[in-house]
Amino acid sequence: MEVIHTSRLRLKMATKDDALFIQDLYSSEDFKRFVGDKQLHTKQDAERYIEENILTMYRNHGVCLLVVERLSDSTPIGVCGLIKRDQFDAYDIGYGFLPTCYGCGFGLESSLAIIEYTKKNPQIEELIAITTSDNIASQKLLSRLGFTYVKVESKLSDTIDLLLYRLPLINHETHP
């Protein structure tokens, strides 16, 4: 995927140089709680994850999560991009940010950029998103992006469900 710029952010392909950041982000409590524990205990684990998951997804499907950096100082603050899951026909938008960046609008800004980028691909007519029923911040972001709740995709525990959202891209206008 090409580098995507917004007024404050740069979204770029992950490289091995991003391994320590990926390890830090994916090891944060919220990331493990809402996305899952990817078992990235070392820099080598993160390098392997970048190669076997992020870059392999790009090679196989032409999409992947991108590293989100602040333009002002090139500091990596999160990931945002598209994921192609075998169980879904549509592409899935995904994102995650360091806890220190919550409430700054980076999730909205980077997700809007991904949606606009995706609209240029006429083969992608809709996006989906999944989030857990206890991730209220993610549900609010999806709503702001124009996604609508579709259904409970699966039950994760007695108290937490995996929720499926949908965003048709045909005639869609984003409203930040």
Q: What is the CATH number of the domain that holds 32?
A: 3.40.630.30
Specify the pLDDT at position 95.
95
Domain assignment of residue 109, yes or no? yes
Domain assignment of residue 150, yes or no? yes
Specify the pLDDT at position 8.
97
Specify the pLDDT at position 37.
85
In terms of residue numbers, what domain contains 62?
Answer: 4-168
Instruction: Give how many domains the chain has, as a whole number.
Output: 1
Residue numbers of the chain with a pLDDT score lower than 50: none
pTM for this entry: 0.90
Domain assignment of residue 132, yes or no? yes
Specify the pLDDT at position 157.
80
Specify the pLDDT at position 43.
95
Domain assignment of residue 97, yes or no? yes
Q: Among 25, 51, 61, 54, which Cα is nearest to 40's?
A: 25
Domain assignment of residue 39, yes or no? yes
Residue 79 backbone dihedrals phi, psi, to 5 degrees: -130, 150
Domain assignment of residue 173, yes or no? no
Domain assignment of residue 41, yes or no? yes
Three-state SS letters, the chain: CCCEECCCEEEECCCHHHHHHHHHHHCCHHHHHHCCCCCCCCHHHHHHHHHHHHHHHHHHHCCCEEEEEECCCCCEEEEEEEECCCCCCCEEEEEEECHHHCCCCHHHHHHHHHHHHHHCCCCCCEEEEEEECCCHHHHHHHHHHCCEEEEEEEECCCCCEEEEEEEECCCCCCCC
Domain assignment of residue 92, yes or no? yes
